[in-house]
Amino acid sequence: MRLSNEKMKILCRARGLSQKDLLEQSGVSKTAYFHLLSKRSVLPRSIQALADTLGVKASSFLVEETEEERVRNIAHLTKAIVAHRPSLDRDDVRHTLLLLEEEPIERLRRALIRGRKNNLR
């Protein structure tokens, strides 16, 4: 599965972004982007190996998780963790799992904002 520069340009234009803006906002360097464009496949080798072994395209077993599935998976994992460690607070576990889905810099920003608000009180 290759990365299409033409499709990226179309998506950028549709959102009023230049490719430079896209790369800056997503935190992807130009070098990394052009490296991805030059690759025959952007899929990890292990995914491609599984597809090759099955004789199918990788897209036949890759799915995008819906928001409902994501929430259900977090609830299931929370339940399993609390069952294994009953002394843990269910809400704390769920909140931690949600935070772990965020980029570390976003978690830090939120913590700093929360710290500033608490400091003003």
User: What are 92's two structure tokens?
Assistant: 């704390």
Hey, where are the domains in the chain?
5-60, 67-120
* Residue type at 49 in one-letter notation: A
Q: What percentage of the chain carries pLDDT values higher than 70? A: 98
pLDDT tens digits along 26-66: 999 999 999 999 998 888 889 889 999 999 988 888 888 88
**What is the torsion angle, in degrees rounded to the nearest 10, for the CA atoms of residue 86, residue 115, residue 105 and residue 23?**
140
> How far is CA 11 from its chain centroid?
19
Residues with Cβ within 8 Å of residue 3, at least 6 apart in sequence: 36, 37, 39, 42
User: What tokens appear for 73 in the block?
Assistant: 């998976």
Rg, the chain, Cα only: 20
**In terms of pLDDT, which residue wins out, 105 or 117?**
105
Q: Are 55 and 16 in contact (CB under 8 A)?
A: no
